C-alpha cells in the first residue's frame, strides 16, 4: 500500500472509524474537530445514491469539504451503482480508502484495477446476504474486506451476527487481510467483532446518538482491548 494515510490507518489497527452519516451536518467542522480531539484515527464516509440503496446521503462535494477540514485518513464507503464511474472523482475529492459493493458491479476486476490505479486503498464490501466466495478470488489484490452487519443503506439498524462467521472465515483464509465491520457495531457487539478478527470498526449511532462522543469512544476502545484475540 503506497497511500501514506491508508498505511497509517492500517498500522494503527485496531481502529474505530466514526461513520459520518448521523453526525450534525449543520456543524460539520465542529463534529470533525471534536472527533480529532477525541483521538479518532480515521473517518468513515457513507456515500449513498438512492439507486443501489434506498437512501441518499452525500457525494464528492462533502468528501471534498471534509478533506479540507482534516488530515485524518478518509475511508469512503460507496453504496452506489456503477462505482467505477466515480472512482476518479472520489480520488480527486480526497478519498484515501475506497470500498465498493460487489453487488453493485457486473465485473469486479476492472473496477478494482481502476481504483488501484488511483493510489487509493481498495476494498470490497459484502452485504449480509452475499457469501464470502464473492471476494475470495480477489484477496491478493485488495487491501480491505468490509463485512456489512446490516443491509447497506441506513444507520441505526440491528447487528446481524452472520457477519461474525464471515470475519472468522476470511481471517482463516488470509491472516494478514485487513477486515472492517460496519453496521450496528456498539458496546454489545464490538467485542465479538474483535474476537472474530475485525481490525476496523465502523460506528455510527453508538457514537452520534450519545451526548459525549469521547466517553462513547473510550468505552468502545476498552471493549476492543478486552476482546483482543492477540492478548493473553
Catalytic residue among 46, 75, 96, 199: 46
Q: In this complex, which beta carbon is closest to ligand 5RP, that of residue 173 or of residue 211? A: 211
Q: Which residues ranging from 65 to 124 are in contact with ligand 5RP (CB under 6 A)?
A: 77, 79
Burial of 118 (0-12, 13-18, 19+ CB in 10 A): middle
- 49: helix, strand or coil: strand
- Does residue 46 touch Co ion according to CB under 5 A? yes
113 is catalytic: no
- What string marks each residue from 26 to 65 as x (binds ligand 5RP by CB under 6 A) or -? ------------------x-x-------------------
Could you tell me the sign of the dihedral formed by the alpha carbons of 147, 167, 172, 195, in that order?
Answer: positive
Of 7-15, 29-37, 103-111, 199-207, the window that binds ligand 5RP (rule: CB under 6 A) is 199-207
Give the span between the Cα atoms of 174 and 187, in whole angstroms: 27
- 1: helix, strand or coil: coil
The least distance separating ligand 5RP from the CB of residue 232, rounded to whole angstroms, comes to 30
For residue 153, whether the previous peptide bond is cis, meaning omega lies within 30 degrees of 0, is: no
- Does residue 203 touch ligand 5RP according to CB under 6 A? yes
Catalytic residue among 49, 75, 143, 182: 182
Q: What are the backbone dihedrals phi and psi of residue 191, each rounded to the nearest 5 degrees, phi first?
A: -65, -45
* E strand or H helix at 173: helix 162-173
49 is catalytic: no
Q: In this complex, which beta carbon is closest to ligand 5RP, that of residue 79 or of residue 200? A: 79
- Does residue 77 touch Co ion according to CB under 5 A? yes
Q: In this complex, which beta carbon is closest to ligand 5RP, that of residue 114 or of residue 205? A: 205
Q: Which residues ranging from 142 to 201 are in contact with Co ion (CB under 5 A)?
A: 182
If phi > 0 it is left, if psi is from -120 to 50 it is alpha, else beta; for residue 15 that is: beta
Cross-strand pairs, 121: 97
Q: Which residues bind Co ion (CB under 5 A)?
A: 46, 77, 182
Active-site residue set: 46, 182
Amino acid at each position: 500500500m503506497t497511500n501514506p494515510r491508508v498505511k497509517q490507518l492500517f498500522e494503527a489497527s485496531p481502529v474505530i472509524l466514526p461513520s459520518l452519516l448521523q453526525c450534525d451536518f449543520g456543524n460539520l467542522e465542529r463534529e470533525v474537530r471534536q472527533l480529532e480531539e477525541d483521538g479518532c484515527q480515521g473517518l468513515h464516509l457513507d456515500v449513498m445514491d438512492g439507486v443501489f440503496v434506498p437512501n441518499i446521503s452525500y457525494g464528492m462535494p462533502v468528501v471534498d469539504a471534509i478533506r479540507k477540514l482534516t488530515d485524518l485518513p478518509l475511508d469512503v464507503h460507496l453504496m452506489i451503482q456503477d462505482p467505477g464511474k466515480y472512482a476518479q472523482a472520489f480520488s480527486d475529492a480526497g478519498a484515501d480508502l475506497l470500498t465498493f459493493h460487489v453487488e453493485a458491479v457486473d465485473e469486479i476486476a476492472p473496477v478494482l484495477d481502476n481504483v488501484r490505479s488511483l493510489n487509493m486503498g481498495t476494498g470490497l464490501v459484502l452485504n449480509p446476504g452475499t457469501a464470502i466466495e464473492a471476494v475470495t478470488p480477489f484477496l491478493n489484490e485488495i487491501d480491505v474486506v468490509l463485512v456489512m452487519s446490516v443491509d447497506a443503506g441506513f444507520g441505526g439498524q440491528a447487528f446481524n451476527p452472520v457477519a461474525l462467521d464471515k470475519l472468522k472465515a476470511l481471517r482463516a483464509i488470509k491472516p494478514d487481510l485487513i477486515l472492517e465491520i460496519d453496521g450496528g457495531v456498539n458496546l454489545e457487539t464490538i467485542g465479538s467483532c474483535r474476537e472474530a478478527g475485525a481490525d476496523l470498526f465502523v460506528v455510527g449511532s453508538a457514537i452520534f446518538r450519545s451526548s459525549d462522543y469521547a466517553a462513547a469512544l473510550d468505552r468502545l476502545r476498552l471493549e476492543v482491548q478486552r476482546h483482543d484475540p492477540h492478548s493473553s
